[in-house]
Structure 1
């Protein structure tokens, strides 16, 4: 073979007759070798499973013998990352070519029909989607574990009063349990959306060829089943061109990251010396190098900071695909997905850190109760009482309640020190004569009573929170079972049992 036509290596058969030389050293170092290493680390098991499924189809179509199919299947299964890396130069630093070389080198006799009617386009698309599915299952498991941690913590603190804030001002009495139930609900919302995303993308692209389909009668339904897919991607073009699943997954990650950053902001505030509502153990805390009195919580800053990367990864995927042709291209299939692994890694890392925080945080119930007792948080209750007990129109009742709070504050009274005379004067100034101001004020600023006062479903009342938590517990069970089913289907197929049976039986 003339060296000018060596597109694989000095001792290898050429991979193409179209060009005479392999990739330059620059392309290998900057693009091809890093991509090869990434695919060898993350996609190799999927490439092998796909190739083995295709061997099963060659056997079904009568293009290879049972003995040849068994040899091909076994050689594919014997491929290792290290061996493929060592031979990458002879394969243009392409993992699909490298896997092909590995098998051909191990065959006693060439199998002419092996790789007939084939393209790397649907092969790559399928391997990437399989990797994405597997990682999404892992991510969902980490998400649900975090949600369970929030749920457990909510159950412990459903009856502990604390100030709730609107516009950064103390507003009404809630509990950490009520607040954390909202975090738990956000997790369930995201887990449902990710489950829907999984179901939507669970369509096998294999059998699409380069873009227009293939010439042999491939059984695409069988290929999908062998690889654990729920169905076939109907259109060949969509199979090789579409990478919207990466956008959808990273979008959900980004949306959750925004929500998590908001919850983390509250924890950061509540853990500050200004509030002192919560504390973390020393192993999750930090110090100041200059101020020995300080105990910092940098883990919360890490969580909030890393959550921003989730949106960045989504934006990278969006811009990588935007304005590209709707067909297979390296730009879309490789560059546009370069941060997808980072997105998965970051999502799970943030969740593991946040789970550790929730598993170890302690709320200071005494300090939270004292904070409630310092504020006139029963203003809303007072306005209600003025309307319901004295017949004061609601908006006027709001004005009277506000004026009472101002007058009581100016008089140096605490919320517990009610003054019916002040309330009577505030009402009289608006033309209302109260018949029993002491009854109106009775208990309106009592902290425990305020926590139990709401009667509507979904309120901060401990019984209402517990009802929500019971419903959430059932939803965690349902979603956990659904994701476990996907895990068994996906891992079982990719483990090779179904493919192996297909190869050895020709089924």
Structure 2
């Protein structure tokens, strides 16, 4: 018989059981559910709502179930619908009817909301830790390749040369903002709904503050109806995860391009590539491609939950059972993606000779040539036109700017002098961007130092944040 079956006169149809059961996925929250129950029963005993002896017996039974869950011995059943009913029924079987007192003063509505908050709080912190590791990998690679210059692009056309370190640190900025977004999302995740009951609170004299303290929540929901129906915090997590995956996808696209024969800028480690079943020469950047593809999966989870929530009246509706699978999938996808990508960054080989050749075989120093004429007294718009015609001349002659003779330069403008060659040297061009946020060597070195400080701060934050998560 169902634990809620007193009002019913016939058993649930087997197809309905299978269709409505969530145990196939919500068992991921078993430890969180037990943790919430341990805090709840501790409060029940402390408030005298149930005898302390019963509270102790229930706690002991819950810890036994937790041990079985952790060691893979606990058997979940579809007939018991969800993780809550599975654990409560097992508890009653282990310790007798006293186990039924556990659910005093709460509902599955505030119970499941609490489980989700606990689960997502822990996993968000772990994702921030993984982002921190990726930031470290990017900074280490930037430091190692501070002397390497690569073509910078706009519209996927050669634009201006930049330090590879500067390019890597651009992604550092993106992922650092991702960490900030996730940290900010934690403010909405770190709220306790337990005590809201089904929707209106409870008639028992519970102590929500005690439970919040026991579970390490920063605050509690002010409104019981909001507490059981709110999934904004899940949406916010999915949104932040979608932006994070978008950043990974952009970088993966560049990895795919850079490792191609046409670019040849990097060689990805064999451990992050696969071969072809028919073409023996192939080395495919499958990890980068699959991470790029999984971005759409995370987007889908966000839009799926948005669609579920868009028409729900207050408070709890069974539709909300659809809040978990996409969340679980996103957590696993993002964690796997971050770990893989950090490894790919750490192991990629930068092809220095190819890059040195690449930055000599384009017109990405053209802007500096225009700036050269400006410093000689020519208005920029006129200088822009002169250099545009000079580039066109080079293309027709099969030359680059560094290949032109001084006479050829002076045919286009008398302002050109012998110092023009130093002005368009690729190293000069890069270091000329000596402004905050620019690609100049000194500025990039300072940016690496700032990145080191940011990573140190994030690591300290993660260490402190995780202290509230362990279950004794």
* TM, length-normalised to structure 2: 0.93
DSSP 3-state at the match of 2:469: helix
In terms of mean alpha carbon deviation, does 16-25 or 122-131 score higher? 16-25
Equivalent in 3, 6, 29 of residue 17 of structure 1: 6
* Counterpart among 373, 384, 404 of residue 398 in structure 1: 384
Displacement of 1:173 after TM fit?
0.8
- Which of 46, 65, 72 lines up with 2:32 in the alignment? 46
Deviation at 1:259, TM superposition (A): 1.9
Contact 1:84–1:95 (Cα < 8 Å) also in 2: no
Q: 2:373 aligns with which of 381, 386, 394?
A: 386
Residue number among 439, 444, 452 corresponding to 2:431 in the alignment: 452
Question: Does residue 35 of structure 2 align to residue 56 of structure 1?
Answer: no
Which consecutive residues of structure 2, in runs of 5 or more, have no partner in the other structure?
A: none
> What RMSD over aligned residues (CA atoms) do the two structures have, in Å?
2.1
Q: For 1:43 and 1:49, how far apart are their aligned partners in 2?
A: 10
Structure 1 residues 160 and 30 mapped into 2: Cα distance closer, same or farther (>3 Å)? same
Classify 1:187/1:438 alpha carbon distance in 2 versus 1 (closer, same or farther; 3 Å).
same
Q: Which residues in structure 2 correspond to 1:333-412 (within 5 Å)?
A: 334-389=321-376, 391-412=377-398
Match of 2:465 in 1: 486
Specify the alignment match of 1:143 in structure 2.
131
SS in 2 for 1:374: coil
Q: In the alignment, is residue 280 of structure 1 matched against residue 268 of structure 2?
A: yes
Contact kept? 1:385, 1:440, Cα under 8 Å:
no
8 Å contact from structure 1 (residues 84, 102) kept in 2: no
Q: CA deviation at 1:23?
A: 2.1
Cα distance in 2 between the residues matched to 1:354 and 1:361 = 10
Q: What's the CA shift for 1:296?
A: 2.5
Q: 1:98 to 1:185 in 2, by over 3 A?
A: same
Secondary structure class of the residue paired with 1:127: helix
Match of 2:287 among 278, 286, 299: 299
Larger Rg: 1
The runs of at least 4 aligned residues of structure 1 exceeding 6 Å deviation read none
**Deviates most, 22-31 or 284-293:** 284-293
Q: Unaligned 5+ residue runs, structure 1?
A: 1-6, 9-13, 428-433, 497-507
Q: Indicate how the Cα distance of structure 1 residues 99 and 410 shifts in structure 2: closer, same or farther if over 3 A, else same.
A: closer
CA distance in 2, matches of 1:271, 1:239: 49
In structure 2, what is the Cα distance between the partners aligned to 1:378 and 1:99?
68
In the other structure, the counterpart of 2:405 is 419
CA shift digits 1:94-143 (9 cap, x unpaired): 43333333333344674886533331111111012111111112222122
Judged with a 3 Å threshold, the aligned counterparts in structure 2 of structure 1 residues 286 and 69 are, in CA distance, closer, same or farther, namely closer
Indicate yes or no: 2:15 matched with 1:29: no
Alpha carbons 1:407, 1:422 under 8 Å: kept = no
Q: Secondary structure at the match of 2:359?
A: helix
- The 1-side partners of 2:461 and 2:18 are apart by 43
Q: Retained in 1: the 8 A contact 2:26–2:324?
A: no
Give the C-alpha shift of residue 418 in structure 1.
3.1
2:94 and 2:182 mapped to 1: Cα distance?
Answer: 42
* Separation in structure 2 between the aligned mates of residue 114 and residue 448 of structure 1, nearest angstrom: 71
Task: Tell me, yes or no, if the aligned pair for 1:84 and 1:99 is still in contact at 8 Å.
Answer: no
Deviations 1:296-331 (A, max 9, x none): 322221121122212111111211222111311121
What is the alpha-carbon distance in structure 2 between the residues aligned to residue 109 and residue 256 of structure 1? 48
Deviation at 1:248, TM superposition (A): 0.5
* Inter-partner Cα distance in structure 1 for 2:236 and 2:75: 32
The equivalent of 1:441 in structure 2 is 420
1:69-468 alignment, distance < 5 Å? 69-79=55-65, 80-81=68-69, 85=75, 89=79, 92-107=80-95, 110=98, 114-332=102-320, 334-389=321-376, 391-427=377-413, 434=414, 436-439=415-418, 441-468=420-447
Query: 1: distance between equivalents of 2:33 and 2:398?
Result: 75
Distance, in Å, in 2 between the alignment partners of 1:371 and 1:232 is 58
Distance 1:411 1:352 in 2: 49
SS of the equivalent of 2:312 reads: coil
Distance (whole Å) between structure 1 residues aligned to residue 233 and residue 306 of structure 2: 11
Quick one: distance in 1 between partners of 2:46 and 2:403? 87
| Contact 1:374 1:415 survives alignment (8 Å) | no
Deviation string 1:337-364 (CA, Å, 9 cap, x unpaired) is 3211111111111112211210110111
- CA shift, 1:87, in A, is 6.5
